[in-house]
Amino acid sequence: MTILVIAEHNNASLKDDTAKVVAAATAIGGDIEILVAGANCSDAATAAAALTGVSKVIVADHACYEHQLAENLGLLVADLGKNYSHVLAAASTTGKNFLPRVAALLDVAQISDVIRVDSADTFGRPFYAGNAIATVKSTDSIKLLTIRTSAFDSVDATGSAAVESSDAVHDAGLSTFVSAELTKSERPELGSAKIIVSGGRGMQNGENFAMLETLADKLGAGVGASRAAVDAGFVPNDMQVGQTGKIVAPDLYIAVGISGAIQHLAGMKDSKVIVAINKDPEAPIFQVADYGLEADLFNAIPELNEKL
Amino acid sequence: MKILVPIKRVVDANVKVRVKSDNTDVDLSNLKMAINPFCEIAVEEAVRLKEAGVASEVIVVTVGGKVCQEQLRTALALGADRGIQIDTSEKVQPLTIAKLLHKIVEAEQPSIVLMGKQTIDGDNNQTGQMLAALAGMGQGTFASEVKVDGDKVQVTREVDGGLMTVELKLPAVITTDLRLNEPRYASLPNIMKAKRKPIDVKTPSDLGVEITSGLEYVKVESPASRSAGIMVESVDELIEKLRNEAKVL
């Protein structure tokens, strides 16, 4: 049994998601190899080779893989993947984009958002916005999984795997990269932040998020938002925590002015400690919060900022 | 230019589903059903492209039993021109749905397939990408902006770190994210008009697709429940609890 993990990276560096997917692969058991597909991505490959438990890193370094275009990556991973028992990727916007193409090309099912490994063919995954957890058994010869990284702890970096290069060039010629507008922030990414401060519709406008940013900076936290805040145009969508946004599980999640709709809870209810600050005592968020404070956030947040 | 919009009937987004006591599935009996929110956004975008003169016809398609015609009618009331129901009472998984849709794509030859990025029941986020691969098309997933330009389309995608724009050759598959548009409400005259729009019914065997599955749902359970904690009276008490009880600060 050999497992292929597709690295999550930006060419220059490896994302921590990869170490979490390797943890899921370790739980399955067997040899673990990593594919780093990108352009000028040798630094990411070196970092992948250091992950504990990895026996080999395959580097496909070509311009057609630079932006992780699903059409090209799908062909490459389908070509390589047919020799493996499992192919794993993070349930990120990259993994979700290319892995179903691989599944279709290999004519096998994909299991999305795996949160639990029971055995080499049986996995747990949430559906219905996390209101139900299915135990799913795969009968396919190759098992394709996207891994919900918030459910796994990163493996260490004590290894020294061999790095091999692949000269396979799969340019489907269907798509081209035009531009990227990536949010630049000094704060931790939502996926890896130990503390997250999130705002909802109660914030009233985007400017008021400055209060939450002040709080986040005091705590070394990331800043998130509910779908209601995104829909209202207060903040960009990449801040969205929820069923259709980011799924997070930090040590501390502070929900400010968030009512607690089903789809928001789906994105944060596995956080270790949840704090809710809301002026509506009936808000459903209080039903999942460890500590609830019924208060006007426009008083409570400045007070927190002053006292912390 | 034809646009094909695959849609799905799902439990209403505001309903909290419960797991059946025998742990075989969730219990959907007597729950309010609706068109999947992302599918509704896809219908809206297709109708807007028609109104802008880019598209000439919008076809909606769904896979499921006769009850799904209700959601096809909703889409027709929003402005789609005709519907196709692929009739099956079996539970079909994303790869089979993609194969069924691929047959419709071959027959209808749409320039764009516009569909939701995921359904809020299965939460799989697979079908559009699978269809694109089967049909040999490019894909613009998680779209927040769609600009058709001749035989190409530029799609701005919502990605983890922000936005990414790709250009695709047509035909292509586009899957919708939340911010692409805000769907309209159907007007009463349009609801009446929709009743007369045609819905074609086909079966998987008409299309030559066998319903198979590489997955078995062994059991379905409720997630570990989280009980409500305590209410604190003040910011001071909150800080004290977080420092000394939860020890997270």
Provide DSSP, chain A. -EEEEEPPB-SSSB-HHHHHHHHHHHHH-SEEEEEEEESS-HHHHHHHHTSTTEEEEEEEE-GGGTT--HHHHHHHHHHHHTTSSEEEEESSHHHHHHHHHHHHHHT--EEEEE-EE-SSSEEEEEEGGGTEEEEEEE-SSSEEEEE-GGGSPPP-S----EEEEE------SSEEEEEEEEPP-SSPPTTT-SEEEEE-GGG-SSTTHHHHHHHHHHHT-EEEE-HHHHHTTSS-GGGBBSTTSB----SEEEEES----HHHHHHHTT-SEEEEEES-TT-GGGGT-SEEEES-HHHHHHHHHHH-
Cross-chain residue pair A275–B242, CB shorter than 8 Å: yes
User: What pLDDT score was predicted for residue B225?
Assistant: 81
> In this structure, are residues A199 and A268 in contact, taking their beta carbons and an 8 Å threshold?
no
A67 lies within 8 A of chain B by CB: yes
| Contacts by residues B67-70 (CB-CB < 8 Å, ≥ 24 positions apart) | B67/B9, B67/B33, B68/B8, B68/B9, B69/B199, B70/B9, B70/B33
**Can you say whether the dihedral through the CA atoms of A164, A169, A172, A175 is positive or negative?**
positive
Residue from the list A74, A97, A237 with its beta carbon closest to the beta carbon of B178:
A237
User: What pLDDT score was predicted for residue A95?
Assistant: 98
Q: How far is A162 from chain B (nearest CA, A)?
A: 30
What tokens appear for A237 in the block? Answer: 């969508």
- Sort out which chain A residues have CB atoms less than 8 A from B133's CB and list them: 74, 100-102, 104-105
A279 lies within 8 A of chain B by CB: no
**How many other C-beta atoms lie within 10 A of the C-beta of residue B185?**
8
The pLDDT tens digits for B57-85 are 999 999 999 999 999 999 999 999 999 99
Distance CA B148, CA A142 (A): 37
Q: What percent of chain A shows pLDDT beyond 90? A: 94
Q: Could you tell me the end-to-end alpha-carbon distance of chain A, in angstroms, rounded to an integer?
A: 51
Distance CA B103, CA B90 (A): 18
Distance CA B244, CA A15 (A): 33
B103 lies within 8 A of chain A by CB: no
Distance CA B249, CA B241 (A): 9
User: What pLDDT score was predicted for residue B16?
Assistant: 87
Q: What percent of chain A shows pLDDT beyond 70? A: 100
Chain A contact probe: residue of B105, B215, B217, B237 with most A CBs at under 10 A = B215
B247 lies within 8 A of chain A by CB: no
> In this structure, are residues B1 and B47 in contact, taking their beta carbons and an 8 Å threshold?
no
Do the domain assignments include residue B107? yes
Do the domain assignments include residue B90? yes
Do the domain assignments include residue B37? yes
Name residue, tokens 């789809």.
A263
What tokens appear for A243 in the block? Answer: 């069923």
> In this structure, are residues B155 and B140 in contact, taking their beta carbons and an 8 Å threshold?
yes
Cross-chain residue pair A127–B123, CB shorter than 8 Å: yes
What tokens appear for A51 in the block? Answer: 């992950």
Q: How far is B21 from chain A (nearest CA, A)?
A: 12
Do the domain assignments include residue B210? yes
- Sort out which chain B residues have CB atoms less than 8 A from A138's CB and list them: 214-216
Asked if omega into B171 is within 30° of 0 (cis), the reply is yes
b/e A223-248 (16+ beta carbons within 10 angstroms → b): bbbbbbbbebebbbbbbbbbbbbbbb
Residue B97, domain CATH: 3.40.50.620
Do the domain assignments include residue B174? yes
A175 lies within 8 A of chain B by CB: yes
Q: Could you tell me the end-to-end alpha-carbon distance of chain B, in angstroms, rounded to an integer?
A: 58
Cross-chain residue pair B133–A130, CB shorter than 8 Å: no
B238 lies within 8 A of chain A by CB: yes
Residue A185 has pLDDT above 90, yes or no: no
How many independent structural domains does chain B possess?
A: 1
Do the domain assignments include residue B238? yes
φ, ψ for residue B18, nearest 5 deg: -120, 155
What tokens appear for A28 in the block? Answer: 């399955």
Distance CA A101, CA B245 (A): 48
User: What pLDDT score was predicted for residue B224?
Assistant: 85
Per-residue pLDDT of chain B (249 residues; tens, 9 = 90+): 999 999 999 999 989 899 999 999 999 999 999 999 999 999 999 999 999 999 999 999 999 999 999 999 999 999 999 999 999 999 999 999 999 999 999 999 999 999 999 999 999 999 999 999 999 999 999 999 999 999 999 999 999 889 999 999 999 999 999 889 999 999 999 999 999 999 999 999 999 999 998 999 999 999 988 888 999 999 999 999 999 999 998
Q: What's at B80, amino acid-wise?
A: A
State the pLDDT confidence band at A272, using cuts at 50, 70 and 90: very high
The pLDDT tens digits for A122-168 are 999 999 999 999 999 999 999 999 999 999 999 999 999 999 999 99
The pLDDT tens digits for B21-46 are 999 999 999 999 999 999 999 999 99
- Sort out which chain B residues have CB atoms less than 8 A from A178's CB and list them: 154, 165-167
User: What pLDDT score was predicted for residue A215?
Assistant: 97
A119 lies within 8 A of chain B by CB: no
Distance CA B53, CA B191 (A): 22
Residue A242 has pLDDT above 90, yes or no: yes
- Sort out which chain B residues have CB atoms less than 8 A from A139's CB and list them: 214-216
- Sort out which chain B residues have CB atoms less than 8 A from A308's CB and list them: 239, 249
Mean pLDDT of A1-16: 96
Chain B contact probe: residue of A72, A110, A111 with most B CBs at under 10 A = A110
**How many other C-beta atoms lie within 10 A of the C-beta of residue A277?**
29
**Structural domain range at position B35:** 2-244
pTM of the shown model: 0.94
Do the domain assignments include residue B249? no
Distance CA B161, CA A222 (A): 13
Do the domain assignments include residue B170? yes
User: What pLDDT score was predicted for residue A244?
Assistant: 83
Q: How far is A111 from chain B (nearest CA, A)?
A: 8
Chain A contact probe: residue of B24, B41, B147, B159 with most A CBs at under 10 A = B159
Residue from the list B18, B98, B228 with its beta carbon closest to the beta carbon of A288:
B228
Name residue, tokens 């071959």.
B106
Mean pLDDT of A68-83: 98
Q: What percent of chain B shows pLDDT beyond 90? A: 93
Distance CA B138, CA B145 (A): 16
Mean pLDDT of A31-52: 98
**How many other C-beta atoms lie within 10 A of the C-beta of residue A184?**
7
Q: How far is B133 from chain A (nearest CA, A)?
A: 5
The mean pLDDT value of chain A amounts to 96
A171 lies within 8 A of chain B by CB: no
State the pLDDT confidence band at A191, using cuts at 50, 70 and 90: confident
